[in-house]
Structure 1
């Protein structure tokens, strides 16, 4: 009979890419992981791994087995959810991967509500870029992740995950104080995206490649007829804003930040039709019904201002 623990190791190898990465994530030695995978091969009776240079990859039979491991992991999540629903109170631990603007704007109120309603629930939060949230869910490194989707840039939807829209917020162009009057005058009437070219000669601060905010802003600028002069890079929205406030750069920033932080920089809607970022919570499909997961999702939703809340 195949061993569930060893099946998980094989699945982890597919997700993380190397035996060393699996060992580090699960607090094993690489040799212990290799030994367990060798035992799994003997149990399966077919080769599951093949060597490519100094690395290994899954054979076709290994991929087939991982497909079944995905189903088994979903069922284990569902079993944990069923057990949790049988208890009288919401408890346990929920690990969250959350990006900066949501952490600043939504997390404090959500935590306060959860501490009042469910004092035995432990919430742990890591600030992570949305691009890796799905991977962290699939590898069971977190239980819930916040992701963002920009207009015209749909998110990939990996199988095995459940998504729920949390809110939609606008995106604003942040310009240094010395440019505020010029931009206000130029954009005071009816505008189109091509009016963004007013800032073509300015230095910009954007997220590093290949983060989705960087790609989206560059595509906006290309529609306006120019490629932004990106002199500075940072995933930290507050750092981006500081560069704008000090007069060194232009940025595009999410309006969710301004729920708790009033900027000194001048903010303007992106020229043309309103553009809104979509923020979603993602969980593993099998754990979507877990009381603790549902409680965290509900608390995050309640912390969103009514005008931004998804219907």
Structure 2
């Protein structure tokens, strides 16, 4: 019989690509990973790994076993979920959150959970949505709060499902004394944007290109609070979501973008975890905590 713990290693290697990455993700040493995979090869009776330069790659047999490993891990999660339904709070729920969710959604959600499911342990880790969705597939987290921008739908991954939480209007942000009134007025300004490769960066650049210019991105920062500070100081302009201002004064001037766009904020989970009672409680709390449904929410900005 294959041991599930070893099957997870070959599943992780198929996703992450290197033994070093698997070791880092699972907090093992690379030598331990190698030893466990060697044992798995002996159990399988076929070569699962082949050398490729200084690294290794999965053989055809290895890829077949990795696919079976993914299904075995799903079945294990489904079984644990059904057991948990008899005893809610049995397992903690680990959630990957983007920065604006940490500011505007999660505090209220945790307050609701403390009332509804006080024995449930929720663990949070901040990750950009791209990394969070990958770690969800790799079972590094149980739930992800992510976003997608108008016209830029994220890829749908087999085995994952989404629960829309709400929409979040997006505005141009300029210094309060800035005379600009539209995107066209900002073609010669320095911009601050999120790092290259993120959905937010791609979407913001496309808005500028649609307006007929290439943005001068001088500042590349993941922290949206830092974006706001640069804008307020008159050193940059930006495209920022309204959730960033939830519960605080807005230190900049907000201008409408063409079409008044809004991003969709959603929670994603593995389909195999659907039966977990703790997961259902967390999803319900996130849905109820979204600002547009809360009685203490800041009114929508014009």
- What is the TM-score when the length of structure 1 is the normalising length? 0.91
Residues of 1 paired with 2:250 and 2:105: CA distance?
A: 18
CA contact (8 A) 1:171 1:277 kept: yes
Q: Which residue of 2 aligns with 1:174?
A: 173
Q: Which residue of 1 aligns with 2:187?
A: 200
CA displacement 1:43-76 (0-9 Å, x = unmatched): 2222211111000111111111111111111111
Residues of 1 paired with 2:292 and 2:232: CA distance?
A: 29
Q: Which residue of 2 aligns with 1:145?
A: 144
Residues 285 and 234 (structure 1), Cα distance of their counterparts in 2 relative to 1, 3 Å cut: same
CA contact (8 A) 2:89 2:121 kept: no
CA contact (8 A) 1:176 1:244 kept: yes
Q: Which residue of 2 aligns with 1:215?
A: 202
CA contact (8 A) 1:234 1:240 kept: yes
Residues of 2 paired with 1:96 and 1:168: CA distance?
A: 20
CA contact (8 A) 2:132 2:144 kept: yes
Report deviation, 1:182. 3.8
Q: Which residue of 2 aligns with 1:193?
A: none
Residues of 2 paired with 1:299 and 1:147: CA distance?
A: 16
Residues of 2 paired with 1:33 and 1:233: CA distance?
A: 36
Q: Which residue of 2 aligns with 1:66?
A: 66
Q: Which residue of 1 aligns with 2:289?
A: 303
Aligned residues: 294
CA contact (8 A) 1:95 1:144 kept: yes
CA contact (8 A) 2:180 2:186 kept: no
State whether structure 2 residue 267 is matched by structure 1 residue 268. no
Give the superposed CA RMSD.
1.5
Residues of 1 paired with 2:58 and 2:170: CA distance?
A: 42
Unaligned runs of 5+ in 1: 188-195
Unaligned runs of 5+ in 2: 295-302
State whether structure 2 residue 114 is matched by structure 1 residue 115. yes
Report deviation, 1:285. 1.2
| Partner SS state of residue 236, structure 2 | coil
CA displacement 1:229-279 (0-9 Å, x = unmatched): 111111111110000001110000001122222211000121x21211011
| Alignment map for 1:1-311 (pairs within 5 Å) | 1-87=1-87, 89-179=88-178, 181-183=179-181, 196-270=183-257, 272-306=258-292
Residues of 2 paired with 1:266 and 1:126: CA distance?
A: 31
CA contact (8 A) 1:91 1:118 kept: no
CA displacement 1:73-120 (0-9 Å, x = unmatched): 111111111001112x44431111101111100111100110111111
Report deviation, 1:300. 0.7
CA contact (8 A) 1:106 1:300 kept: yes
Residues of 1 paired with 2:290 and 2:99: CA distance?
A: 15
Q: Which moved more, 1:155-164 or 1:212-221?
A: 155-164
Q: Which moved more, 1:161-170 or 1:240-249?
A: 161-170
Q: Which residue of 2 aligns with 1:190?
A: none
Residues 306 and 205 (structure 1), Cα distance of their counterparts in 2 relative to 1, 3 Å cut: closer
CA displacement 1:140-164 (0-9 Å, x = unmatched): 2111111110011110122111211
